[in-house]
Amino acid sequence: MRVTTISTALFALASTAVSAPTAGSSSPGLEVKLTQIDNTRVKAVVKNTGSEEVSFVHLNFFKDAGPVKKVSVYRGQDEVQFEGIKRRLRSSGITKEAVTSLGAGETLEDEFDIASTSDLASGGPVSIRSHGFVPIVVDGKITGYIPYKSNDLTVNVDGGKAAKVTKALSQLTRRTEVTDCKGDAESSLTTALSNAAKLANQAAEAAESGDESKFEEYFKTTDQQTRTTVAERLRAVAKEAGSTSGGSTTYHCNDPYGYCEPNVLAYTLPSKNEIANCDIYYSELPPLAQKCHAQDQATTTLHEFTHAPGVYQPGTEDLGYGYDAATQLSAQDALNNADSYALYANGKHVPIIPIWCEQLLTDNSYRAQVLNVNDTSYSLFRRGCT
C-alpha cells in the first residue's frame, strides 16, 4: 500500500456497547421497486410499508447523489464490476442532510444510470437487484436497522448507448498533488495502519482455529471453507496495512476527489484500489475504541481495505452497518460484508478490561467472572454492563 497526499501497545477493548434494536416484524419496512426507464437508466421507488414514520440514513442508499452502489448488476451468474465509491458513515452525530423521513405509505423516488458505474458496453441482458439494511436514525444516532430488498429487474442493454454514458469516476480529478501524508494526519494514519495490521492478524488466527461459536456469531456458520476465506482476507489486510511504500492500494490522508460529506469517515474506490480518509476520521474517531463494536480509526481502515479487490478478491460490500445489522445477515452476505470483518476483529481479540462499568467495579463476584475472559463471561459482561 502506498500512502499519498495530505490526504505502542494496543488499547484494551471492552464489550460495553449497547445493542440497538433491529427492525422486526412490528417495525417499519422498506419495499424497493426497480423499473427500467430507458436502456441503462433505472428508477427506484422506495416505500415505507410500515404504520409509522421512519427516518433513515440515505447515504450509500437510494437518494444519495454520489456514485455509490445502489444496485448489483449481474451478467448471468457473474457480477459486473462496480466502478463507483463505497463510503463508511459515522454512527452518531449524523446531520439532517443525510437523513430521509418517510411517513406510513410514503415513497421516495430515485433515478440513476447503471452504466455510469459499470461497464456495459458489450450490451445484452443483465439483471439488477438490491438488498441489505438501511440505518434508522433518532436524534442523529443510529438506533436500529430496516432490512430492504428489491425485485429482480432484467434489462436488455444496448451496448452502443451504454458506452456513451459518462462514467462517474472518469470525471474525478484530484484537487491536490502532494506526494505524502504530513503532520498529524500522517501520524494518525501510521498508527491506524499498525493497529489495523495487528487486529487483522489476531482475527485471522481466531478465524482459522479459534472459538467456533464466536466465529459463528459474526459469520453465521462454522464451515471450514468460510473460516479459511475469512482468515485469508484478514491476513491480506494485515499485509497491506503493514506496508506504506508498496502493495496494491493507494491510501490518501485526505479527500482528493471531493466525496467526504459531513457524515462520511472514509471511502474506497474499489475499481481503482484507492482509499481516502475524511476530516472526521481524525477529529471524531479514537485510534482504538474503548467499547467493543464501537467505531475507531483502526477498524475503519480495516473496513476500507476489505473493499479493495487489490487486497483480496472479491472486494466486500456494505450490506449491514454495525453489530446488530451485520449479525442478522446470512452466512453468504456476512462473508461479503465489510463491517463483519471490522466487528469480528475488534469484538473478541483484544484483552477486555472494562474498568468503567459500575457493576464490574462494585461486584467482586461479577468482576471475577468477567476478568476470566471466555465466551461465557463475555456474554455475561455484555448483559450486565449496558
> Which residues are catalytically annotated?
304
Helices 224-241 + 212-219 axis angle, to 10: 80
User: Are residues 7 and 192 in contact, defined by beta-carbon separation less than 8 angstroms?
Assistant: no
User: Are residues 307 and 273 in contact, defined by beta-carbon separation less than 8 angstroms?
Assistant: no
User: Are residues 54 and 146 in contact, defined by beta-carbon separation less than 8 angstroms?
Assistant: yes
Q: What region does 322 belong to: left with phi over 0, alpha with psi -120 to 50, or beta?
A: left
| Structure-block grid coordinates of residue 346 | 475488534
* Separation between Cα atoms, residue 283 and residue 53, nearest integer Å: 33
8-state DSSP, 116: G
CA angle 66–72–78, rounded 5-degree value: 140
Peptide linkage before 270 cis (omega within 30 of 0) = no
Query: Binding residue per annotation — 252?
Result: no
Buried b (16+ CB within 10 A) or exposed e, 354-374: beebeebeeeeebbebbeeee
SS3 category, 117: coil
How many residues belong to the chain? 386
Query: Under 8 Å CB-to-CB from 272, ≥6 apart: which residues?
Result: 169, 250
CA atoms within 13 Å, Cβ hemisphere of 208: 13
* Alpha-carbon dihedral angle through residues 313, 314, 318, 322, given to the nearest 10 degrees: -50
Q: Which residues are annotated as a binding site?
A: 303, 307, 318
Q: Which residues are annotated as a binding site for Zn(2+)?
A: 303, 307, 318
